[in-house]
Amino acid sequence: MHSLSREIQGFSKDRLKKQCTIVTTVTGRRLLETRGDGGEGEEQVKELEEEDGCGFVEDKSLDLQVGVVRPFLLLASQDAAHDIDTLQRFKVSHVLNVAYGVTNLFPDQLVYKTLQILDLPDTDITSYLGESSSFIDLAREKDGVVLVHCNAGVSRSTSIVIGYLMLREGLSFDDAYGQVKLARPSIRPNAGFYKQLQSYKP
């Protein structure tokens, strides 16, 4: 007990580490909040320059990787769907947006279909396959290229594309999943979607 009280008495606030937090505002400004030496009133906020670090590297890179599942069927994140250079490079004519609350940025240049699907294991993903597949077929019939995306291009859009291959090409779940993963290695349908597609009989 005595050693603890001695330690507390001998403790200097100089030994406290400075804390810093990076805050990104809604307008995209990046601020660095620093609280030093444990003292009140010593908080500082400054605008972050690109080279400022805070003990970690923030990944700000956009995910513009586009998985080419078929020449007419692409899979990506919303970053790619919002990047006109990427869309033009892949000759995208149609966009199937299966995210929730993600806007379509180029309605004058592209044909859009939006299905607001929640990325929850108990969402019935197979109930969206008919409508989604019809839109993909429509693009294909017009010699177009359709980009399917959600937010991250990992769960919802992936499940729709896997379902399309099962429904239209008669692939087994394993074959469809394997081909889509080859095109976009980061795919990971949520556990509910995975099970639904495994037992899906078109």
If asked whether residues 12 and 72 sit together in one domain, one would say no
Using the predicted structure, report yes or no on whether residue 125 has a pLDDT greater than 60.
yes
If asked whether residues 105 and 172 sit together in one domain, one would say yes
More confident residue, 116 or 59: 116
For residue 58, is it within any domain?
Answer: no
For range 45-65, the mean pLDDT: 57
First to last CA, the chain: 71
Q: What is the pLDDT of residue 51?
A: 40
If asked whether residues 106 and 158 sit together in one domain, one would say yes
> What amino acid positions are annotated as catalytic residues?
150
If asked whether residues 129 and 177 sit together in one domain, one would say yes
If asked whether residues 43 and 127 sit together in one domain, one would say no
Beta bridge partners of 19: 35
| CATH number for position 188 | 3.90.190.10
> Tokens 């990046």 appear where?
30
Report the range of poorest mean pLDDT among 27-36, 44-53, 70-79, 84-93. Answer: 44-53
For residue 52, is it within any domain?
Answer: no
One DSSP character per residue, 98-161 reads -SSS---S-TTTSEEEE------TTS-GGGGHHHHHHHHHHHHHTT--EEEE-SSSSSHHHHHH
Q: What is the pLDDT of residue 81?
A: 97
Q: Over the stretch 15-50, which tens digit does the pLDDT of each residue have?
A: 555 555 555 555 556 666 555 544 444 445 555 544
For residue 39, is it within any domain?
Answer: yes
What's the pLDDT band for 184 if we cut at 50, 70, 90?
very high
Q: Over the stretch 142-173, which tens digit does the pLDDT of each residue have?
A: 999 999 999 999 999 999 999 999 999 999 99
For residue 75, is it within any domain?
Answer: yes
89 CB neighbour count, 10 Å cutoff:
12
Using the predicted structure, report yes or no on whether residue 197 has a pLDDT greater than 50.
yes
For residue 56, is it within any domain?
Answer: no
> For the chain, give me the number of helices (H) and strands (E)?
7, 8
Question: How long is the chain?
Answer: 202
Number of domain units in the chain: 2
* pTM greater than 0.75 (yes/no): no
For residue 55, is it within any domain?
Answer: no
If asked whether residues 36 and 77 sit together in one domain, one would say no
Domain that holds residue 42: 2-47
